């Protein structure tokens, strides 16, 4: 049998796009964004003069992204619920978005049950799934064209620059020298306020799960005085180890917050540097965006998995109290 020779049409598409990007990159010069750690202000005046007594609240470009993320998740949840209800009324076979979300949530629940056990899986799973899905959407949303590339131009030099801008300016060589871009939308994972807030919620709920599982005996993890008077030397060592556990628990907030923020911010800097160095050659920055997609998925999974694993660990007893709890449960069963 003769084998039909396949035409590598995908290669031609990539080549055409590279040539088009090279030509357009020479005709239109984009206004380069300014790389800043803090979120940029879209307007200079605060929207609230004194927010909760903490000072002025400005409209920064991560707030619109936060609103869009919440709206998209609500819309997806609505259509997922409608799809599952429709399948319940017909043949009980989920289809479309309901099938996709059911598969994802089932996989996450199996991971939770495998780590935390059946008893505490129902308590831990909502936090694990919510944090992971939300961070995943926050990381992937910034890859949509228009994010971090369309926004407000702010002058950074001289009266001429301040008075030169009127109306809309998408591409302009002269403006690229006198203005910096504050995009309308910036990925919320690149805002340390978001990652720190999510880290605080995660660590606080880890302690809540620990108290639900062990009661006030959970505090012995941090203030272990059980053997202080029986064996003074080893009791003092246990107490110091407990204090180190307390410091480690608090440091999880910094670890969670800066891990997510640092990796996502590094992606922004990497894309900007590669795009600036290569100029009109546009295919390599696109490949860097694929790498950022990979990092976004991995970081969402890591953040969620660490939260789930720490919650599962918080449900377990420590040392003697764990054996004592097992004896109490055995006595109740008898």
At residue 328, the pLDDT reads 38
CA distance 300 to 140: 10
At residue 286, the pLDDT reads 66
Q: Is the pLDDT of residue 191 over 60?
A: yes
Distance, CA of 294 to chain centre: 13
Q: Where are the domains of the chain?
A: 50-148+185-333
pLDDT higher at 228 or 121: 121
| Residue appearing with tokens 């992204």 | 65
Contact residues for 325 (Cβ-Cβ < 8 A; gap 6+): 214, 217, 317
CA distance 307 to 303: 6
| End-to-end CA, the chain | 75
Tell me the pLDDT band of 161, cut-offs 50, 70 and 90: very low
In this predicted structure, which of 43-57, 91-105, 173-187, 210-224 has the lowest mean pLDDT? Answer: 173-187
DSSP string of 142-193? TTSTTTTTSEEEEE-SHHHHHHH--S--SB-TTHHHHEEEEES---GGG-HH
CA distance 237 to 221: 13
Tell me the pLDDT band of 147, cut-offs 50, 70 and 90: confident
Q: Are 307 and 128 a contacting pair, CB within 8 Å?
A: yes
- Cα-based distances in Å from 62 to 141, 188, 193, 194, 288: 12, 5, 10, 9, 22
Average pLDDT over residues 272-277: 70
Contact residues for 299 (Cβ-Cβ < 8 A; gap 6+): 135, 139, 189, 259, 260, 263, 264
Q: Are 314 and 210 a contacting pair, CB within 8 Å?
A: yes
At residue 315, the pLDDT reads 87
Determine the number of helices (DSSP H) and then strands (DSSP E) in the chain. Answer: 10, 2
Three-state DSSP at 150 gives coil
User: Count of alpha carbons within 13 Å of 311, Cβ hemisphere only?
Assistant: 33
Q: Are 274 and 287 a contacting pair, CB within 8 Å?
A: no
Tell me the pLDDT band of 145, cut-offs 50, 70 and 90: confident
Q: Is the pLDDT of residue 164 over 50?
A: no
Q: Are 182 and 40 a contacting pair, CB within 8 Å?
A: yes
At residue 331, the pLDDT reads 35
CA distance 83 to 250: 42
Contact residues for 90 (Cβ-Cβ < 8 A; gap 6+): none
At residue 324, the pLDDT reads 40
* Global pTM exceeds 0.95: no
The rounded mean pLDDT for the chain is: 77
Q: What angle do CA 308, 134, 101 make, to 5 degrees?
A: 85
CA distance 168 to 270: 28
In this predicted structure, which of 10-14, 34-38, 95-99, 173-177 has the lowest mean pLDDT? Answer: 173-177
- Name, of 35-44, 123-132, 154-163, 232-241, the range with top average pLDDT: 123-132
């Amino acid at each position: 049998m003769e084998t039909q020779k396949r035409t590598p049409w995908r290669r031609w598409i990539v080549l055409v796009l590279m040539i088009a990007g090279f030509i357009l990159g020479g005709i239109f010069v984009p206004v380069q964004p300014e790389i800043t750690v803090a979120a940029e202000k879209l307007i200079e005046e605060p929207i609230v003069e004194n927010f909760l007594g903490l000072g002025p609240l400005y409209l920064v470009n991560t707030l619109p992204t936060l609103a869009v993320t919440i709206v998209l998740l609500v819309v997806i949840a609505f259509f997922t619920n409608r799809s599952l209800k429709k399948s319940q009324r017909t043949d009980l076979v989920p289809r479309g978005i309901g099938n996709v979300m059911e598969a994802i949530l089932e996989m996450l629940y199996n991971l939770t049950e495998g780590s935390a056990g059946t008893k505490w899986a129902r308590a831990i799973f909502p936090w694990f799934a919510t944090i992971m899905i939300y961070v995943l959407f926050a990381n992937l949303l910034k890859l949509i064209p228009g994010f971090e590339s369309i926004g407000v131009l702010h002058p950074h030099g001289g009266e001429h620059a301040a008075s030169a801008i009127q109306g809309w300016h998408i591409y302009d060589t002269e403006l690229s020298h006198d203005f910096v871009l504050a995009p309308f939308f910036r990925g919320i994972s690149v805002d340390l306020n978001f990652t720190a807030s999510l880290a605080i919620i995660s660590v606080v709920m880890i302690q809540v799960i620990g108290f639900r599982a062990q009661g006030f005996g959970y505090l012995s993890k941090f203030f272990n005085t059980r053997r202080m008077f029986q064996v003074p030397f080893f009791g003092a060592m246990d107490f110091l180890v407990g204090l180190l556990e307390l410091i480690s628990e608090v440091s999880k907030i910094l670890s969670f917050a800066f891990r997510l923020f640092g990796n996502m911010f590094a992606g922004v800097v990497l894309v900007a540097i590669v795009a600036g160095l290569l100029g009109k050659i546009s295919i390599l920055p696109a490949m860097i965006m694929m790498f950022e997609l990979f990092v976004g998925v991995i970081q969402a999974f890591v953040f969620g998995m660490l939260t789930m694993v720490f919650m599962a660990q918080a449900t377990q007893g420590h040392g003697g109290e764990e054996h004592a709890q097992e004896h109490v449960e055995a006595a109740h069963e008898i």
